Amino acid sequence: MKLAFLPIISATLLSCSLLSACSNELADKTASTVSLKQAYKNSFLIGTAIGNDQLMHPQAVTTKLIEKEFNAATPENDMKWERIHPLPGQYDFAAADKFVEFAQKNNIFMTGHTLLWHSQAPDWIFEDENGQAVSREVLLGRLKDHIDTVVGRYKGRVQSWDVVNEALNEDGTMRQSKWYKIIGEDMIEKAFEYAHAADPEAELNYNDYNLNNPQKRLGVLRIVKQLQDKGLRIDGVGMQGHYSLFHPDFKEVEDSIIAYAETGVKVMFTEVDISVLIFPEDAEAGADVNQNFALQEKLNPYSKGLSPEAEAALDQRYTDLFEIFLRHEKDISRVTFWGTDDGMTWRNNWPMVGRSDYPLLFDRQSKAKSAYYKILALKQ
């Protein structure tokens, strides 16, 4: 293979990005001199989700990787209602405090996740002592108390909040959650109002999956306009970015970036991962955590490792996605991966317990995969 026509770049990046054959020696050399956050420092923040195990029982290799590669972070589960506020009047801030302490120590931009979500929400929130649905006023009071307490505790430290998460159906209509059924149409407005009052300086975002979907996109645009028309603060739309080798059409992703940016808010990709696995026929693409299917071996083809063909496809998919990000970097404030390495991704067990997935840039030993070098090469 003749390479004389190629522009002169480092031997390391040539071998990684063009030949797709990085030796361990070259990979280690590159990894020691450059990082994602350094490469993209003039484009957008590069983030990761941090799980409870890492917060409460830190693994040195993971800590080192986060410190080196990322300048933004989100707690994977430990600020969700079931973890931080499991019982009436009872808050558990242990893991959330660890998250904030670690992020502050390492100058990492923090996003609190999440204040209002239909999932991972204890039943007591919506019920009285007899198990009956509470009134609108009672539920609004509980929501305000929760937001005042959680956001207030981290006021001035957590810079950004996913105020409302996944409030829409795929057709852009409001999800018929308990929140919506009890509070009604203005539940999103109230959540943003309370969050802004609790910390007037914090960035406030709406977050959801499948926001490339044109119908769902219209639903988000409606939410943004309603909040803006009411004079309420909304700073960004979080596109979760739970993608795969087969879905979605990235043109839809790009169209959504453009549409959301035109409203004047920032766009952020908040939970990026790219599955290499095929979904069951009846599964919905996206990130509905309630989906659960029996394990099928034919849908778990990489239990002993990723094939070269699948790895090459993953490389190309990540390259295509980041090329879009870079075309719109003026409108994108953050790209956060949902997990740090393949060993800790939720994709391994969703929507089938026991599956092995490889959706991130670092493998199960926290070593950079070839997709990592592909993304770095875009900034060289």
Q: How far apart are CA 336 and CA 317, in angstroms?
A: 16
Report whether 51 contacts 76 (CB < 8 A).
Answer: yes
Indicate if 67 belongs to the active site.
no
Catalytic choice (76, 193, 203, 271): 271
The amino acid at residue 203 is E
Residue 346 CA: distances (Å) to CA of 67, 166, 178, 197, 242: 21, 17, 25, 33, 11
Strands 236-239 and 242-244: unpaired
List the helix and strand counts (H, then E) for the chain.
Answer: 14, 9
Catalytic choice (69, 166, 203, 311): 166
The amino acid at residue 27 is A
Q: Which residues contact 48 (CB under 8 A, 6 or more apart)?
A: 66, 69, 70, 72, 73, 74, 336, 337, 339, 340
Backbone conformation region of residue 375, classed left if phi is above 0, alpha if psi is from -120 to 50, else beta: alpha
Q: Which residues pair with 378 in a beta bridge?
A: none
Indicate if 309 belongs to the active site.
no
> Strand runs (DSSP E) across 250-373, as ranges?
266-275, 332-337
Report whether 234 contacts 193 (CB < 8 A).
Answer: no
Report whether 308 contacts 314 (CB < 8 A).
Answer: no
> Strand runs (DSSP E) across 262-341, as ranges?
266-275, 332-337
* Residues forming the active site: 166, 271
